[in-house]
Chain A
């Protein structure tokens, strides 16, 4: 693999880091506008109720109030997948936090006091917060306006192969149920949106959302705006983790308030609203069976799944898309079946939080790998390696595995953790090791007509290279990675490159930041635009140097002729020679990259991503058997990143994701009591602190993906997928009981230790002739 790059592969500090460490970066809440009003939202205190009346007259009379909006005085259309949601609820509220009315006033205190004067009359309806109860006949109907049965919002079904035959081939079948909690992305910056119309009626929205073009369309569709007259600007984002992908009701409400008030309005979510009124990670319940032949060859996987959607369909309703990939395509499993129901409940609803269904699915799939191995008397790493996906595989869903470092990832964490010497041998100290591995999209994910991203490059007379990318920077370091890709492709110093990506009027179209796609898709677009700019630079230089362009090279900003040390030209000079003459031109290029992938068909078959990322973790835990307290002593992480454009940023993604995963595994959840979150705050939520975060040993495995920019694949989500599964497996190794749900909080583990929760293994389920146990 090439390693003589000038920029790619170097540990480069993020370009935006100096401003961030000095407090100079301005986020949405730091922005001001002339005449800016403060908005506030009145939310439902009930999980399910009919709205009988809204009386806003007292609020409207408060001095300093500019606008009060509710369903009775605005024009709005439904939004969300299947149009099951509306910004200001008009008839029924379906979860605590549902938006009923809103106020814009001169300041936040006035807005809040006016809000308290809005009187809403409700008729309480029976509510259901458990998806299994919601499925029962006679359960309260959460969307009686929709033609659906049993509160089932959608179903996901897939099957391939002959399940009965695969069961007959299996020497061992393990079965079990595995559940995950409602959790939150919980960025430190809450959602803040500013909306204002100019005097000509053009709408500007400042929002940390990172699917800006879809956001613009949805705003316009719902509010009846001409979307050519809507500009979305994205300030630096104070963390998202998927929470800021979806458009939320408050986004529409900010625009409604600005329209009604005739002044710009800022809506800043409180921390409580961030938990109750913005998107969460949906609980997914798996009933899973996996079968293997006596030699460990996987025979089948069979999943019955219930996803607890919450009250409406946001992107979270599609998390099954990724969960299904894991069930059918993690390891060579062949015969697989999945039947999933996405079920409405009267709770805050699910979005597309980092990992998007994969941590939940991997928790089930990877625990069963270790349960199977134990039942077969095999080492779990050997079982994984035996069944590992390999380059050239096509999975049952049609995922085309190209670059694949899964085996190398497994071998790396096995070696580094001392797996062979230590697993299964530390129970007397209540310590254990557990592993898990993943497959995840790494080359975009075609969930929309286009999975493309545009890029434009201009080089000005100073030599400044400006990349204008369709993608967004959320803190993950994509801006720096894109600048590195451009600098490497053009052959100019990194400090000459700037990246802009914050304005829909300026930047080219992009689906948005999701599915670990930015480095791959936006990176390829940037690379293509930079390659064109390089060609133009060399042509300009060819005229000056009087040599054919194809004979020239450029590195570090110097254009030269190999073998002729005196024939050199700085690239800025080549730009100026083109510009400062009659018949002048400047260097300005563009490209649009759409990965060569397919949208999955109605049978969920299709190569959704241009490449796939893989990784493996081993976790080491120590359990206090008296209290049930689990401490993660260490985490070894190896990830196939294709090529690390910026190794420091790759590590940052993996370490940060892994600690979010440790939070999922051990502490983070939003339990519901009487239809509400009793403690929607950061004190009780259970986000890991520096003391809870284990030391993490990261190894980057480079497999040089054929289609990735310089071989890179996505890594934004990889880190978070594995800790729940790896830690559960480590707990099983330490104390011999099998966690069936996470977070593995002390009182739950203590109960499992008392009740002796074990694996459900069916050995020799059928009389198996030897020849079938290959």
Chain B
């Protein structure tokens, strides 16, 4: 089939096998390699992207089901012409990235959590990010970073 989707604001029309995963299309066809994979079973969250305003593990999302969708990957989180948004800057200044392999998925999941209006509260943010594994940081600095942005965006 042919799908027509929007990725980071760009129109993308591609012939695909409907059972291809969004992850394989992003990484293999569109060379958007900022999205990582750690398991291909939806357990680690490293491949998280935003599909029509929802966090999705792209390793389990088949493209046949998302024709017409609007997709945001780590490459599109900051918006055009900007290197980083406030959340990415907070990840840097709080020391929330170590090896960085979970980080794109974590940033994307946290951005969607913030857009969904998560309570500016550590427990709520921990719950909201429970689908994204990080092996390096112990999560403390990630939670601090997201919390700081949740508070700042309320102002």
Residues of A within 8 A of B (CB): 11, 13-14, 16-27, 29-30, 186-190, 236-241, 270-271, 474-477, 648-649, 651-652, 655-660, 681-683, 687, 689-691, 693, 695-696, 719
Interface residues of B in 112-127 (CB under 8 A from A): 122, 125-127
The contact of B41 among A29, A188, A271, A690, by CB within 8 Å, is A271
Chain B positions within 8 Å of A649 at CB level: 95
Complex contact B43–A682 (CB within 8 A): yes
Complex contact A23–B140 (CB within 8 A): no
Chain A positions within 8 Å of B143 at CB level: 690
Chain A positions within 8 Å of B104 at CB level: 21, 23
Interchain residue pairs with CB less than 8 A apart (20): A13-B92, A17-B95, A17-B100, A21-B88, A21-B100, A22-B77, A24-B34, A188-B38, A189-B36, A271-B41, A476-B98, A649-B95, A652-B95, A656-B136, A659-B138, A687-B135, A689-B126, A690-B142, A693-B126, A696-B140
The contact of A238 among B41, B75, B101, by CB within 8 Å, is B101
Chain A positions within 8 Å of B141 at CB level: 648, 651-652, 655
CB proximity of B87 to chain A, nearest CB, Å: 8
Which residue of chain B lies nearest to A662 when distances are taken between CB atoms in the complex? B138
Chain A positions within 8 Å of B100 at CB level: 16-17, 19-21, 25, 236, 238, 475
Chain B positions within 8 Å of A189 at CB level: 36, 38, 99, 101
Q: How far is it, in angstroms, between the C-alpha of A186 and the C-alpha of B135 when the chains are bound?
A: 8
Complex contact B97–A21 (CB within 8 A): yes
Q: How far is it, in angstroms, between the C-alpha of A693 and the C-alpha of B141 when the chains are bound?
A: 12
Residues of B within 8 A of A (CB): 33-41, 43-44, 46, 73-75, 77-78, 83-84, 88, 91-93, 95-104, 107, 122, 125-127, 129-143
Complex contact A21–B39 (CB within 8 A): no
Q: How far is it, in angstroms, between the C-alpha of A655 and the C-alpha of B143 when the chains are bound?
A: 12
Q: How far is it, in angstroms, between the C-alpha of A186 and the C-alpha of B127 when the chains are bound?
A: 22
Complex contact B43–A21 (CB within 8 A): no
Known: A22-B74, A188-B38, A657-B138. A690 touches B99 (CB 8 A): no
Q: How far is it, in angstroms, between the C-alpha of A22 and the C-alpha of B78 when the chains are bound?
A: 8
Q: How far is it, in angstroms, between the C-alpha of A547 and the C-alpha of B92 when the chains are bound?
A: 43
Q: How far is it, in angstroms, between the C-alpha of A189 and the C-alpha of B97 when the chains are bound?
A: 14
Chain B positions within 8 Å of A18 at CB level: 83-84, 88, 92
Which residue of chain B lies nearest to A185 when distances are taken between CB atoms in the complex? B135
- With most chain B CB atoms within 10 A of its CB, the pick from A20, A476, A655 is A20
CB proximity of B39 to chain A, nearest CB, Å: 4
Complex contact B38–A190 (CB within 8 A): yes
Complex contact A239–B140 (CB within 8 A): no
Q: How far is it, in angstroms, between the C-alpha of A226 and the C-alpha of B110 when the chains are bound?
A: 49
Q: How far is it, in angstroms, between the C-alpha of A175 and the C-alpha of B47 when the chains are bound?
A: 48
Chain A positions within 8 Å of B41 at CB level: 271, 681-683
Q: How far is it, in angstroms, between the C-alpha of A25 and the C-alpha of B33 when the chains are bound?
A: 9
The contact of B33 among A17, A20, A26, A660, by CB within 8 Å, is A26
Complex contact A21–B126 (CB within 8 A): no
Complex contact A238–B99 (CB within 8 A): yes
Chain A positions within 8 Å of B136 at CB level: 239, 475-476, 652, 656
Which residue of chain B lies nearest to A18 when distances are taken between CB atoms in the complex? B92
Chain A positions within 8 Å of B96 at CB level: 21
Complex contact B101–A188 (CB within 8 A): yes
Complex contact B91–A17 (CB within 8 A): yes
Complex contact B83–A188 (CB within 8 A): no
Known: A23-B34, A690-B143. A14 touches B95 (CB 8 A): yes
CB proximity of B12 to chain A, nearest CB, Å: 18
Chain B positions within 8 Å of A475 at CB level: 98-101, 136
Known: A22-B78, A652-B141, A656-B138. A27 touches B133 (CB 8 A): no
Q: How far is it, in angstroms, between the C-alpha of A26 and the C-alpha of B95 when the chains are bound?
A: 19
Complex contact B46–A188 (CB within 8 A): yes
Chain A positions within 8 Å of B39 at CB level: 271, 681-682
Chain B positions within 8 Å of A19 at CB level: 100
Known: A14-B95, A655-B138, A693-B140. A21 touches B101 (CB 8 A): no
CB proximity of B110 to chain A, nearest CB, Å: 10
Q: How far is it, in angstroms, between the C-alpha of A241 and the C-alpha of B137 when the chains are bound?
A: 12
Chain A positions within 8 Å of B125 at CB level: 690
Complex contact B135–A656 (CB within 8 A): yes
Chain B positions within 8 Å of A237 at CB level: 99
Chain B positions within 8 Å of A651 at CB level: 95, 140-141
Chain A positions within 8 Å of B46 at CB level: 188
Which residue of chain B lies nearest to A476 when distances are taken between CB atoms in the complex? B98
Complex contact B98–A656 (CB within 8 A): yes
Q: How far is it, in angstroms, between the C-alpha of A271 and the C-alpha of B46 when the chains are bound?
A: 13
Complex contact B139–A187 (CB within 8 A): no
CB proximity of A192 to chain B, nearest CB, Å: 11
Which residue of chain B lies nearest to A24 when distances are taken between CB atoms in the complex? B34
Chain B positions within 8 Å of A17 at CB level: 91-92, 95, 97, 100
The contact of B40 among A270, A476, A690, by CB within 8 Å, is A270
CB proximity of B47 to chain A, nearest CB, Å: 11
Which residue of chain B lies nearest to A270 when distances are taken between CB atoms in the complex? B40
